[in-house]
Amino acid sequence: MATHMEANQIRLSLKMKLSNYAWYSSCGVFQGDGDYYVVISVKKLDNQIRKLIPQVVNGIVVKTELI
C-alpha cells in the first residue's frame, strides 16, 4: 500500500521530467480504493506520449487524463 508521501514524490519526479513538453498540463495525487495514485493531465494523447509516461512507478499507479 502506497502512502501519500510516496505518491507525491513520484508526482514531483514525473513533473520535473514531463514539464518540458508542450502537451503536459498538470499532475496530482488522488486516493481511490484505499491507495494513492498519480494522475497526469495532458493536452494531447497519442502512442508516442503514452510511451513516455510510465503506467507504474515503484508500485504506484500512474494514470493519464486528456483535458
CATH of the domain at 8: 3.30.300
- Residue 30 structural domain: 4-66
Maximum Cα–Cα distance across the chain = 33
pLDDT at 2: 82
The CB density around residue 10, as the number of other CB atoms within 10 Å, is 23
Reported as a pLDDT band with limits 50, 70 and 90, residue 1 is confident
pLDDT for residue 18 is more than 80: yes
- Number of domains into which the chain is organized: 1
Kindly state the DSSP code that residue 11 receives in the 8-state scheme.
H
Q: 3-class DSSP state for residue 53?
A: coil
> What tens digit of pLDDT does each residue of 43-61 get?
999 999 999 999 999 999 9
